[in-house]
Amino acid sequence: MHTKRIIPCLDIKNGRVVKGIKFVDLKDAGEPSETAAAYDRAGADEVVFLDITASADNRNTQLEWVRNVASKLFIPFTVGGGIKSVDDFRAILREGADKIAINSAAIMNPELISEAADKFGSQCVVVAIDAKRRENGSGWTIYKNGGRVDMEMDAVEWAVTAQRLGAGEILLTSMDADGTKAGYDLELTKAVSGSVGIPVIASGGAGELSHFYDAINYAGAEAVLAASLFHYKELEISKVKEYLRDRNISVRI
């Protein structure tokens, strides 16, 4: 079994970490670089940094924010938000990011996945998918611009396409579960992880220790991401890892 990763997520708006429920009602959760440094000390395996309004505002990720966070980290660091070109990849990697997450740009220009993978390697390219269950329950559709625009594209099919084009990882967020603390969308996660051969990071809905175990053991996630649970110290990363280790899940202690 691969070593599973515990990843806190920093959603950034106006230079601050924020967290909401189902992508709305955002509340302040701290300063990005200090929050990232605290997670590094706490034993996080990676940190994900998402500039959540960059695409909707039609601007690039703020390089200064990336630089400040990277200066405090000694673990892998993924950056997403407003990235539209290989040049944007290059600029953010130069500021200290290890991987780049693309969502809206990948949907609108799928060849960006291939171009970036050819230039920097698949391991650098993370395709982020924001998925919401269809009202008729028949599956999930994907959204762009931070969950604002329904693309009427199937989430599982898009994940398969992203892998074929060169993505090295899928960051899969359930919009229905986001911020609810009711658990990851196991059905969604299992559907995607069972359809691709690259790691899937489960995101959206973590609320208690068993949720992390279920996402890995039942739904096949290679990594589990959480935000508010860690930001507000409702759970410590070390406790999550101990819980998983005690249940024979391989983690880095």
What pTM did the predictor assign? 0.93
Question: Mean pLDDT over residues 107-115, rounded?
Answer: 98
Residue 23 has pLDDT above 60, yes or no: no
pLDDT recorded at residue 54: 75
**Could you report the per-residue pLDDT of 143-178, keeping only the tens digit for each?**
998 788 889 999 999 999 999 999 999 999 999 999
Catalytic option among 45, 51, 130, 178: 130
**Rounded alpha-carbon distances, angstroms, from residue 68 to 31, 38, 102, 133:** 10, 14, 21, 36
Average pLDDT over residues 115-125: 98
Position with higher pLDDT, 53 vs 45: 45
Domains of the chain: 5-245 (3.20.20.70)
Does position 25 have pLDDT exceeding 70, yes or no? no
DSSP assignments along 50-116, one per residue: EETTTTTTT----HHHHHHHHTT-SS-EEEESS--SHHHHHHHHHTT-SEEEESHHHHH-THHHHHH
Is 130 part of the annotated catalytic residue set? yes
Mean pLDDT over 199-220 rounds to 97
Give the helix ranges, DSSP H, for the chain: 32-42, 63-70, 86-94, 104-108, 111-120, 155-165, 186-193, 209-217, 228-231, 237-245
